[in-house]
Amino acid sequence: MTELLKSYRFREEREANWHKLDQIINKAEKSGVKALSDEDMLALPRLYRQAVSSLTLARSISLDQNVVSYLETLCTKSYLFVYGTRSNFGERIAHFFAHDWPETVRAAWKPTLLSAGCMFGGALLAFILCMIDMDWFWTFNSSITGDRTPDATTAYLESTLYSDATDAGGMLSAFSAELFSNNSGVALFSFALGFMFGVPTALLIIYNGVLLGAFYAVFWSRGLGYELTGWLLIHGVTELFAIILAGAAGFMIGGSVAFPGQKSRMASAQAAGRSAATIAIGAVIMLFFAALLEGFGRQLINNDEVRYGIAVTSLVLWMGYFYLPRSDGRAR
């Protein structure tokens, strides 16, 4: 009888447990923690610790490459599972809406003010310049405004503010979907460009404001200011708020890279990056609501007062959601 290798006996004694752990992890990765039986759940930590200690031991006694690399991948996989993400998708989403998002936005009030300053400053500047001399409009001109330029007649401009509900239906949903992807592009860009010290973000936000201001001036000069405000703000409160927040997210990253303080630039960007990302995805969600309001609300509601009512309601709701102090903020 040939004497068995020590390392082989070592493996033979533990092999069954490794396989068991492998099975549990695979099952959990495939169908979720809920798919695990109570028995599996109880066994998991014990099996994990055994595997980890097997790995340490195997490194020092076994020269079987396959065993060592198998244990290495098994332990890494188990480690990432045991210490990694445990909450499921639904819980995370719920936590995001209840805590992560409003808390992050509230904490970022400084960059939010800066971003709002950029947008409204740009808008005010463009508005004043255009009121002094309407030729400025052509400097800021963009295809977004279409044929709603200073050359258009007042009657035409007014007609663009109200629509008959007859051509609704499919057009509306297509419209909202289109705007959805366009605006969220702007929001994501102003976030993602933030790491260049926030400069491109500022330019993007100011440019957005300038377009808005010039557009406003055209209508204002024809005495359509009140009507335009309703047309714009029914969804604009949500949309502009979203873009401002996306800009704030960009500024957070930019600021963290430019002024890292005690940390390294990399660590600083990383610390800011996560909360900035939360604000940015929040902005995309807001833009989704804005597109719904724009696509359906604005086309179907042609009454100025109702439009104002919706605008004010949405402002109150967003402000309350983000900035109202809450007692259970650190519940988890």
Partner 1 sequence: MNQIAKHAPSIEKGKLRRARLAQARQRSKFNRKLVTPEGAELTLKLASAGQRAGAFIADWIIIVILFVAILFGVSETSKGIGQNGEQIAGALAMLLIFILRNFYFIFFEIGRRAATPGKRLVGLRVASRNGGQLTANAILARNFVREVEVFVPLGFLLQAMISGGGVNGWISLSGLIWSGLFLFLPAMNKDKLRLGDIVAGTWVITAPKIKLLRDITKSRDQSGDAAARFAFTAKQLDTYGIHELHVLENVLRKSSPDVKASVADRIRVKISWTRQPGESDIEFLREYYAGLRRNLEQKLLLGQRKADKFDKGK
- Binding to partner 1 in span 190-229, by CB under 8 A: 191-193, 195
Q: Does residue 94 interact with partner 1 by CB under 8 A?
A: no
Burial classification of residue 332, based on how many CB atoms lie within 10 Å of its CB (0-12 exposed, 13-18 middle, 19 or more buried): exposed
Q: Does residue 105 interact with partner 1 by CB under 8 A?
A: no
Q: Does residue 56 interact with partner 1 by CB under 8 A?
A: yes
The least distance separating partner 1 from the CB of residue 88, rounded to whole angstroms, comes to 8
The least distance separating partner 1 from the CB of residue 111, rounded to whole angstroms, comes to 15
Of 267 and 317, CB closest to partner 1: 267
From the CA atom positions of the chain, what is the Rg in Å?
A: 29
Contact 172, 298 (CB under 8 A): no
The least distance separating partner 1 from the CB of residue 27, rounded to whole angstroms, comes to 11
Site string for partner 1, 230-269 (x = CB under 8 A): -----------------------x------------x--x
* Binders of partner 1 in range 129-168 (CB under 8 A): none
CB burial of 128-163 (b: ≥16 within 10 Å; e: otherwise) equals ebbeeebebbeebeeeeeeebebebeeeebbeebeb
90, 146, 169, 261: which one binds partner 1 (CB under 8 A): 169
CA distance 153 to 12: 88
Q: Does residue 103 interact with partner 1 by CB under 8 A?
A: no
Q: Does residue 19 interact with partner 1 by CB under 8 A?
A: yes
90, 170, 261, 325: which one binds partner 1 (CB under 8 A): 170
Phi-psi region of 164 (alpha: psi -120 to 50; beta: other; left: phi over 0): beta
Q: Does residue 72 interact with partner 1 by CB under 8 A?
A: yes
**What is 182-244 written as a DSSP string?**
HHHHHHHHHHHGGGTTTHHHHHHHHHHHHHHHHHHHHHHHTT-HHHHHHHHHHHHHHHHHHHH
CA distance 321 to 48: 43
* Binders of partner 1 in range 273-312 (CB under 8 A): 273-278, 280-281, 284
The least distance separating partner 1 from the CB of residue 242, rounded to whole angstroms, comes to 14
Q: Which stretch binds partner 1 (CB under 8 A): 141-149, 211-219, 271-279, 321-329?
A: 271-279
Of 77 and 148, CB closest to partner 1: 77
The least distance separating partner 1 from the CB of residue 219, rounded to whole angstroms, comes to 28
Q: Does residue 324 interact with partner 1 by CB under 8 A?
A: no
Q: Does residue 188 interact with partner 1 by CB under 8 A?
A: yes
Of 83 and 153, CB closest to partner 1: 83
Name all contacts of 266-273 with Cβ < 8 Å and 24+ positions apart: 269/195
The sign of the dihedral angle between the CA atoms of 93, 94, 98, 100 is negative
CA distance 194 to 204: 10
